[in-house]
Amino acid sequence: MLVSLSQLQELSPKTLVLLVGPPGSGKTTFCEQTVLKSLAMDRPIIYVATEYGPSDAEQALKAQGLGAVERGLLTFVDAYNETVGGSVPERPDTVYADCNDLSSLDIAITKVTEQVGRTGVLLVFDSLTSPYLFGGSEILRFMRQTLSRFATRGNAVVASIDEGCGKPEDLVAMMSLANAIIETDIAAGTKILTVVKHPRIEPTRIEVPVTLPPRVISYHFDLDYLRREMELMVRGFGAALRPEVGDRINIGWRDLIFWSGMLWDPKRFPTMMYELTKYSEDLGNVPSKVIPLRVKLLFKFMPKSYSKVNDMRKFMNMITRFKPEEHGMATIEYLDDASKTDEHHVRLHEHYECWGFERIGTSLGIMRPALVAGSLTGLEKLKGLERDWNAIETRCLGLGDPYCEVKLVPGEIDGLHASLEKDRTVIERIQARLMTHLTGFMLHGTPLMERPTIGSGVHIHDVQHVTAAPTVNASLQTVFKMGGAKAGKMLGDRLMDAGLRADEGVHRVIALMEHCKVGKIALGDTIRMRENCERFGIKTGQPSCFFTTGFFNGFFAAVKNQHVKEIRCIAMGDPYCEWEFR
């Protein structure tokens, strides 16, 4: 018997459906369509959102045809904005919770259920990934005591979770608690739904064509800031971009931002960051007026193609002329003997992406290789040659090598995307190592990420290759907010476990941030930060410190049971970023 997508979205009472699939495979869309179908039958909906707010959910539903809804028929549990410090107006159709606190979620769902006052309700929980990443296997108790109990009382539940977000045995246990399992995937423009088990439907596979939106990339850097940054990078001297705290940021903080994002979305995040970095360094995408005249003149004498060893050596000589070691990136060495036409090898000593994670079990260089590949693509484009360069780390401190090596080729590289994706157990080892570095500094004054010849800092340019990404790709905003909240909670929990008082814990984390040159911080009734590296030089017109706001929320929730929201931001033209306590 053929089964339609519409049939899958007609959920009978006492059904608990678990949607499992990689990020971006259509789980949220399935939830939204199920909501619309249920509302059309006047079925009450409790919509629990943990990775976006009710306004975002409502906007998406309206885009799919949602009209006027009878009062009380659609109620939201907002477990997102409280977690990440989002600034939202109070809504009469919304109850707030914190996905870092499963008890608050249970209380919110119970409160809304009592308000509805009837059975036959549909509970949509999108998604379990966020509370799982905060609380681990505690989510199993929540599923048994809250979601399963809700379903057995004559209601229905559809809950989603990202494939690969945790331990395989936990996912197996979650599946055992559901009486319907639907796996989602997307490939070659087709959405694939596989019914693994269902109380009314035999195992089957449904394919639905999808149209992907065009890729639009628009960076939000202030052009004057970009011009000054390029001048400083090229000349190697002049007034700092950030006069109060300087332009080098401890690589420990850069790693905290990057690997917290990786923890949240290990499948898509590294590939998106690689591609965005390539794009940003493609000079064909940079406004001509921000490129210094000295650089334009230099480009005129550069080769049209970088296929040959002699021509690639000229490119590498240009890079070393800009003294990347003085900016804390790495000491770069072009390997003539190992290179050949259309295959080039570069050695990086004290590479900032990999330092501190020796023998961790994986290669770690993603952004710096992408940056070089993007530069090559852009330089050839300026000469009229359209080729896409790529780069992959072939040796790495993380693999136990004494230095890192990168292979550069025009075109595709076999194994590149597989090398970018990281196994969650490896990411957790990296997070544990990073937490040891950071808490070692905060508790014992242990030097943080020191390198023997080029120090512990990296230029703000390389940090902003990470922090600017959410201004380009809105789907990354949740990754940075939630990743920041998770990082803050982990640090806060470690300080409390060490026996520190709450106020002392706050003092230590502020000292860490100032040591890392994150910004100039003043803590009082609010938190104020001048020259915040996350948004310095970036104009968005709205509060946009996604990682920092998430970090403060996770940290203060762990040590003082407080939340914050950003009320001023230098990305809006304010003189500083500011957060108020709630």
Q: pLDDT tens across 493-507, in order?
A: 999 999 999 999 999
Q: How many whole angstroms separate alpha carbon 1 and alpha carbon 391? A: 49
SS3 244: coil
Assess contact for 441 and 447: CB atoms under 8 A: yes
Instruction: Give domain status of residue 72, yes or no.
Output: yes
For residue range 550-570, what is the model confidence (pLDDT) as tens digits?
999 999 999 999 999 999 999
Residue by residue, DSSP assigns 370-433 as: HHHHHHHHHHHHHTT----EEEEEEE-GGGT-SSEEEEEEES--TTHHHHHS--HHHHHHHHHH
129 domain residue, yes or no: yes
- Over the chain, what is the mean pLDDT? 89
SS3 204: strand
Closest CA to 421 of 265, 235, 567: 265
Supply the pLDDT for residue 287.
60
pLDDT over threshold 80, residue 74 = yes
CB 105 within 8 A of CB 131: yes
**Residue 108 falls inside a structural domain:** yes
Q: What is the predicted pLDDT for the residue at 230?
A: 66
Amino acid sitting at position 536: F
Residue 121 lies in a domain: yes
Residue 351 belongs to some domain of the structure: no
| Region of residue 343 (left: phi > 0; alpha: psi -120 to 50; beta: else) | beta
CATH of the domain at 138: 3.40.50.300
Q: Over range 414-427, report the average pLDDT.
A: 90
Mean pLDDT over residues 366-385, rounded? 91
What mean pLDDT comes out for the span 75-87? 90
Element (H, E) at 579: strand 577-581
**What's the rounded mean pLDDT across residues 114-122?**
92
pLDDT at residue 216 is higher than 50: no
195 is a domain residue:
yes
Total number of domains in the chain: 1
pLDDT of residue 383: 87
Token output for 235: 């000349």
Residue 391, φ and ψ in degrees, nearest 5: -145, 145
Q: Would 419 be classed as within a structural domain?
A: no
* pLDDT (0 to 100) of residue 166: 82
Give the model's confidence band at 447: pLDDT under 50 very low, under 70 low, under 90 confident, else very high.
very high
* Residue 402 predicted with pLDDT over 60: yes
Residue 459 to residue 367: CA distance in whole angstroms: 13
Q: Which domain holds residue 117?
A: 5-209
Banded pLDDT at 531 (limits 50, 70, 90): very high
Q: Summarize pLDDT for 314-332 with one digit per residue, the tens.
A: 889 888 877 788 888 999 9
User: For residues 347 and 333, is the Cβ–Cβ distance under 8 A?
Assistant: yes
In a domain, 500, yes or no: no
pLDDT in tens, 14-64: 999 999 998 888 899 999 999 999 998 899 999 999 999 999 999 999 988
Is residue 147 within 8 Å of residue 6, measured between CB atoms? no
